[in-house]
């Protein structure tokens, strides 16, 4: 009963996000072609995305090696596993076997994937900030800001996916700052919130340009 309830909640959330962040209105046939392009644009970045995440994981593990935090190895393994999911689709796309049409379920899977990745990435400051020194905190801030920016760009063809990732990561960063930093860090909390809103807005603009460009090519 609980599993069915959770699945129903996720399905409802997926439908709402897809509807709220829809960037085009077209006939179903045309829409299916464009959905395929949206997914292909993200999958084409899979090797770069996996490499960037792997480098970041290694940096974090090296940075906190003296603290001996086994949970970070679990965090790194979970993140790498999730980010590697798109590699199979990338190989299929490189071999020319990628579908030319996609259903709305493909977008929903992309949104779900971004939610899981966002939760894992956002967990990093919650795990580490209570044990980090000043230098380690600076590196965490740099990595998190870079990840928000890069991911909002990489996922911009599917605005709902970008929105989920950016909001989840930013919310967990803000929570970590609230829990583990002095009160005068409130300005940093405010700046993170503003930065997240800016990234979401720019990503939505980029997705609209992608739609206009794709629509122009199809015409």
* 89-141 pLDDT tens trace: 788 777 766 666 777 787 888 888 999 999 999 999 999 988 889 899 889 98
The verdict on residue 1 lying in a domain is no
Q: What six digits make up the tokens of 2?
A: 């609980």
Angle at 46 between CA 154 and CA 53, to 5 degrees: 80
User: Which residues, 6+ apart, have CB-to-CB distance to 174 below 8 Å?
Assistant: 189, 192, 193
The verdict on residue 20 lying in a domain is no
CB 54 within 8 A of CB 88: no
pLDDT in the model for residue 19: 54
Residue with tokens 């999958």: 43
The verdict on residue 89 lying in a domain is yes
Q: pLDDT averaged over the chain? A: 80
Show the domain range for 43.
26-218
DSSP class of residue 68 equals -
Strands of the chain (E only): list them.
none
The verdict on residue 131 lying in a domain is yes
In Å, how far are 4, 13, 14, 15, 42 from 1, measured between CA atoms?
A: 5, 18, 20, 21, 35
DSSP SS3 for 62: helix
pLDDT band at 2 (very low <50, low <70, confident <90, very high): very low
Q: What is the mean pLDDT of residues 138-160?
A: 88
Percent of the chain clearing pLDDT 70 (strictly above): 78
The verdict on residue 209 lying in a domain is yes
pLDDT of residue 20 exceeding 80, the answer is: no
The verdict on residue 11 lying in a domain is no
The verdict on residue 138 lying in a domain is yes
Regarding predicted confidence, which is higher, 40 or 124? 124
Render pLDDT for 51-96 as a digit per residue (tens, 0 to 9): 999 999 999 999 999 888 899 999 999 999 998 887 877 887 777 6
Regarding predicted confidence, which is higher, 118 or 153? 118
Please classify residue 51 by burial: count the beta carbons closer than 10 Å to its beta carbon, then call 0-12 exposed, 13-18 middle and 19+ buried: exposed
Question: For residues 128 and 137, what is the distance between their CA atoms, to the nearest angstrom?
Answer: 9
pLDDT in the model for residue 189: 85
Split into its structural domains, the chain has a count of 1
Angle at 56 between CA 53 and CA 92, to 5 degrees: 15
The verdict on residue 18 lying in a domain is no
Listed residue (148, 141, 153, 183) closest to 166, CA to CA: 148
pLDDT in the model for residue 201: 80
pLDDT band at 9 (very low <50, low <70, confident <90, very high): low
């Amino acid at each position: 009963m609980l599993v069915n309830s959770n699945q129903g909640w996720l399905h409802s959330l997926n439908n709402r996000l897809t509807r709220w962040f829809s960037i085009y209105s077209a006939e179903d046939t045309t829409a299916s072609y464009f959905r395929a392009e949206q997914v292909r644009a993200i999958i084409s970045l899979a090797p770069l995305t996996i490499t960037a995440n792997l480098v970041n994981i290694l940096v974090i593990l090296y940075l906190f090696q003296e603290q001996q935090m086994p949970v970070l190895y679990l965090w790194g393994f979970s993140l790498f596993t999730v980010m590697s999911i798109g590699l199979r689709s990338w190989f299929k796309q490189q071999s020319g076997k990628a579908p030319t049409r996609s259903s709305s379920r493909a977008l929903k899977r992309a949104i779900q994937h971004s939610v899981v990745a966002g939760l894992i990435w956002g967990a990093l400051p919650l795990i580490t900030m209570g044990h980090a020194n000043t230098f380690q905190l600076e590196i965490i801030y740099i990595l998190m800001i870079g990840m928000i920016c890069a991911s909002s760009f990489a996922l911009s063809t599917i605005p709902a996916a970008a929105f989920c990732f950016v909001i989840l990561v930013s919310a967990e960063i803000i929570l970590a700052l609230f829990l583990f930093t002095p009160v005068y860090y409130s300005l940093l909390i405010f700046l993170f919130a503003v930065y997240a809103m800016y990234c979401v807005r720019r990503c939505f603009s980029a997705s609209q340009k992608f739609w206009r460009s794709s629509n122009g090519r199809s015409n």
